[in-house]
Chains A and B, each alone.
Chain A
């Protein structure tokens, strides 16, 4: 038994619904009690879908348990086929139905339905949403592509399938557009995109392509591995998030397809991240500490962009995707940080506090943590929120995706810069303590609420942002004190490096057993660290 407040992933049947809702001409009959229909609003509210997801919930009640819940399932399945006329029927059980062991697959078989039935086993007390989506996609592809042998003659033009985008996936809607454009610019034909937008007939055509692009391993890895074993289709597993990864992706795709990369592809001017990052305005991004957390795909990609393309320092990296923990551990080793593999958001919040980042890249959960800690944050991964389905075109993948990422990560920091300027000029008559931050709506400036003299207040305001929240954590209990002379000297250091100077001085003092910190200590530390 595990105590949970918020979860990163829903139960596996929600993953199955995501796949069903991604596709055309599929209907899912889910054996479930009343209440499990809440899943519909994920799609109609968060994703603003214009149709209900193609799911029938059998809605059994307590009084049915002593009677015939199997009969309720059979009626629901028959009615669903008659009403929705799908090309294929998925059947499965939610957590409660799993306990009553009605065997939806077996029951559906006895009905003599005139459509193919794909039964799902969703171990709700063991697995989670992404696993459920991956398993459902795999079962569907096996069911519809599995019967065919390897197609005899491959078409002359190189072709591929794009596997993994799903309903409720983080920016998947726009990623597909970007990736299709990129792949087609190499002269490669897109055979199928699945599950998003595919029908069962499209799944049956998957083996006709030369190779598969695994866009989201969390959803498509199982399927692509099976396709490789079954049909010898190569897998491209480079996820094109970021400039470097997009270049690698293009190279990999071209290699697998046996085509040349057109020389103009990288020089069209469509990609702006590289120049924006090189421009002198971006100098202040250098060495910014970023904490990265999300699903494995987005977290690994974000760490690479942060480190190689924006010149940040990755100070924390983690994922809730236990299935891909190994990949995240490898990446963390590259950046010299301890990997955090956890689906407990409180552990993640503690890790953020300990890492003292200047920017948090995470899920909606970390956005809330960052808001509490008064840290800038950008969302990079599911679980999704209505904000993660912007009206505008906003991919993460490809060159346009890199542009979007530059804006969405750097703008919160620029807002942070404004914040510092506000505090720098707080003595001027236009500014005053009550003039709160322009972008962090969460209360006024921390210093304004703290008792103490004017000088103490300004010092507190200039401390690293998370300080207020970390004041009572163990990590700070043994922090050396500052003499007032040293505090005053610290305040003369330009605001944009002051947080770092404070941190460096304190760690230098702690290492050398110096307490309290004097002006001497401050400059000794500066000499020691080189800046």
Chain B
């Protein structure tokens, strides 16, 4: 299949650097579709229900990706399109209205119903935003109805969250132009991470600070020209553009993974809000010290090891930067499903020139490269992990990086441990593949 080296894609904000080549191959993508991000979105926003309008495959994906069927009745479901809908024997909009009415009768506590587009609904051009506005007329204000697409033909895994957040932006209340500067942190984080960040912001005297997504659909942050925002996750590029369209200003930084990433992230915010250097140092010093100490425990396991990252969540450039600079590993390849240069440019700038960067995927050829490069650790999806382990290679499931709170100083050690664990385990076992 086709291979191109895209030289124009180098991070442009580091003018002194030569263009970094990005390997682009077209083939099988071994990644989840955007629907999968519902797994953490529905936990984050506790009054929202995500209704996928799709096929049996979508429903099966959700329960397979969930791994075990742990929830009595989760706040997501699938309206499965059937033959009657496709043959035009049933009006699909009437059918959808019926499903929604039944659902809301069963779950009256739901305040936000999110219609989620899928591959089939996109291909048959079912207009879900329009359906949402029709249903909104019927069910609001008790329950608001909105729509976004998480289809696999348009989105990869975490891009589903991006589309959801971007669709929320028009509903954020307007902040008046003369309001004092405020900060919005964009991208779903663990509640514990948000709370820790709030303590740092309080110490720095920065506020008001709000998070998107908010924990409830009724408490979306306000946005306006005096709003500044920073991304906490690399996959929220479309949401960033939507916020800019509402006048908010983006603060650009590496992502808060590891001590260095967290400090750079807080520093970019502190600089934007004019926090004095001495105050910044005083507030962040204890966290930085703890983070350094925590990751140091795992450095002996990882240092000098070679690591190959398969594309999964778009966190890969940030993970590679952490592994390279704080754990002294050598990165062989960093794959990402989508390379948003605007967002991850600061991360790529911190990676050695020798690192191969690939965007998109031809999984077979990427596996061939693993066989050639023979890395000490492979960070990859669940479909690939056991087959690599059976070849005697060490792997780390990448999906865990989006489900585990890893951002900020207090989690830097957890991040290091998560990555070191497969190697520590292999060293422990006297049996194995």
Contact = CB atoms under 8 A, between A and B. Distances in A.
B425 to A, nearest CB: 16
Interface in A10-68: 10-11, 13-14, 33-42, 44-45, 48-52, 56-62, 65
Contacts of A62: 122, 151, 153-154
Contact of B63 (A7, A95, A99): A7
Contacts of A385: 68
B80 A33 contact: no
A96 B28 contact: no
- Residue among B61, B73, B152 with max Cβ neighbours from chain A (10 Å): B152
Interface in A60-110: 60-62, 65, 75-76, 79, 83, 94-96, 99-100
Contact of B57 (A2, A40, A95): A95
Interface string A273-306: 0000000000000000000000000000000000
A96 B119 contact: yes
B72 interface: yes
Contacts of A2: 79-80, 82, 99
Given A1-B81, A2-B82, A35-B32, A10 B386 contact: no
Interface string B73-91: 1101111111101100010
Contacts of A57: 28-29
Interface residues of B, number: 66
A4 interface: yes
Interface stretch (B108-116, B327-335, B377-385, B414-422): B377-385
A94 B61 CA distance: 13
Interface string A457-470: 00000000000000
Nearest to A40: B383
Contacts of A61: 153-154
A140 B344 CA distance: 48
Interface in B42-97: 53, 55-57, 59-61, 63-65, 67-70, 72-74, 76-83, 85-86, 90, 92, 95-96
Interface stretch (A121-129, A158-166, A184-192, A250-258): A121-129
Contacts, number: 188
Contacts of A48: 386
A368 interface: yes
Contact of B386 (A7, A14, A45, A60): A45
Nearest to A2: B80
A40 B30 CA distance: 9
Nearest to A37: B30
Contacts of A94: 57
A452 to B, nearest CB: 25
Contacts of B387: 44, 49-52
A41 to B, nearest CB: 4
A388 to B, nearest CB: 12
Contacts of A96: 55, 57, 119-120, 123, 152-153
A56 B27 CA distance: 9
B355 interface: no
Nearest to A99: B123
A83 B384 CA distance: 18
A68 B164 CA distance: 29
Contacts of B431: none
A329 interface: no
A6 to B, nearest CB: 5
6 contacts: A6-B59, A33-B152, A34-B33, A37-B29, A45-B383, A365-B69
Interface of A: 1-7, 9-11, 13-14, 33-42, 44-45, 48-52, 56-62, 65, 75-76, 79, 83, 94-96, 99-100, 123-126, 128, 346, 364-365, 368, 372, 385
